Amino acid sequence: MQSGIKKFDKWVIEFITKDSSVNPLMGWESSEDTYSELNLEFSTKEQAIVYAKKNKIDYELVEEKNRKIVKKSYADNFLK
């Protein structure tokens, strides 16, 4: 399986929310915290940091990992 790299050029602010609860009547998972539905996307890391500081949002920066790409050929399956 190969993981794609599309849509990995964004920086996202995700809010840490309260634990969800189970609705006793219907059994659905629910939450009173609407921040659980909110993700803010930015095109650069600096824009995300400026937004968080401007709005007094505590943040934790998770740097992207460098990917090691190994080029493979379908024919390699039959050459060994």
Higher-confidence residue of 47 and 71: namely: 47
Residue 4's Cβ-count burial label (10 Å; 0-12, 13-18, 19+) is exposed
Instruction: Give the contacts of 52 (CB within 8 A, at least 6 positions apart).
Output: 13, 58, 59
Residue 5's pLDDT band (boundaries 50, 70, 90)?
A: low
Asked whether residue 80 carries a pLDDT value surpassing 70, the answer given is no
Residue boundaries of the structural domains of the chain: 35-80
Structure tokens at 63: 């740097």
Give per-residue pLDDT as tens, 24-57.
788 787 777 777 778 889 998 899 999 999 999 8
- The three-state secondary structure class of 67 is coil
pLDDT, residue 4, reads 65
- Single pTM value for the model: 0.60
Structure tokens at 31: 């939450």
